Amino acid sequence: MRVIGNGRIRRTGAGISYGSGATIKQLQDWELATDDDAATVETAGYFNALAALMKIGEKIIARLDLDGTPAFREYIVSANTGTVVTITRENVTAGAGLQTLAFFVNLADIAAAGDVLTNYVPGYAFKIEKFDFRVSKPATTAAKLASLNMEIGTVDLTGGVIALTSANCTPAGAAVAGTAITAANVGTALSSFSVEASAVTAFVEGSGWLIVQIRNLEG
């Protein structure tokens, strides 16, 4: 039995073998009991300390959030580079749990070093997948700009930055994509996220929607 995060994990049972001859592989499953919630366990790197032991195809039976609202999950080890372990939740259909949230903003209200959206609480464990902007009313005054980024609590996402300019905020309906989100994008049921601005040359007019694609990790 080993300590991992705020819990313990152990191998279970005799396991199962597959393949034949020189290619035969032996899999043994794992049992996890922890105070960590699903969002924490599903954060990239959680199982890296076991990279030398975990094999692709092994199952993790998890009892989660035991000091809060207990939950049950099953995972499979879907990749292991020897140092980095990747897990996949059981039977997750592509797109499952995805929701789209939209927040209206007047571009002229964006101020340097100020929040555009402050401490929105989804109310469930979540993962932010995408952050984009969709123009409602075009910006017509030239040479205006603002950079928008998201944070969970006070920690900036890695990626998810939208660079707004007069040129890309026209015509109506134009889409401005945020950069790819790669890390620091998972929150608990108590977490909030905010949108903050920087590098602002104040817009005179224009408006649009901040589009946040978010995955419910509890659904």
What pLDDT, on the 0 to 100 scale, is given for residue 130?
A: 96
* Digit-coded pLDDT (tens) for 65-115: 999 888 888 999 999 999 999 998 876 555 667 899 999 999 999 998 789
In one-letter notation, the amino acid at residue 114 is: G
Which domains can be identified in the chain, with CATH numbers?
2-89 (no CATH), 98-216 (2.60.120)
Measured between alpha carbons, how far is 15 from 30 in angstroms, rounded to an integer?
Answer: 10
**pLDDT of the chain along its 219 residues, tens only?**
899 999 999 998 777 888 877 778 889 899 999 999 888 999 999 999 999 999 999 999 999 999 988 888 899 999 999 999 999 887 655 566 789 999 999 999 999 878 999 999 999 889 999 999 999 999 999 999 999 999 999 999 999 999 999 999 999 999 999 999 998 998 988 899 999 999 999 999 999 999 999 988 876
Distance (Å, whole) CA 22 – CA 155: 48
| pLDDT value at residue 166 | 97
pLDDT (0 to 100) of residue 14: 75
Task: Enter the tokens of residue 60.
Answer: 């993790």
Kindly tell me the number of DSSP H helices and DSSP E strands found in the chain: 1, 16
Please tell me the predicted confidence (pLDDT) of residue 117.
96
Give the rounded percent of residues in the chain with a pLDDT score beyond 90: 72
* Mean pLDDT for the chain overall: 92
**Distance, CA of 122 to chain centre:** 13
**Secondary structure percentages of the chain, helix, strand, coil, to 5:** 5, 50, 40
Sheet holding 59-64, edge to edge: 2-4, 7-18, 25-34, 59-64, 71-80, 85-89
Both tokens assigned to 202: 């104040």
* Per-residue tokens: 85: 């372990």
Give the integer Cα–Cα distance in Å for 153 and 159: 16
Q: What is residue 113's predicted lDDT score, i.e. its pLDDT?
A: 78
The confidence score (pLDDT) of residue 94 equals 56
What confidence score (pLDDT) does residue 15 get?
79
Q: What is the pLDDT of residue 101?
A: 96
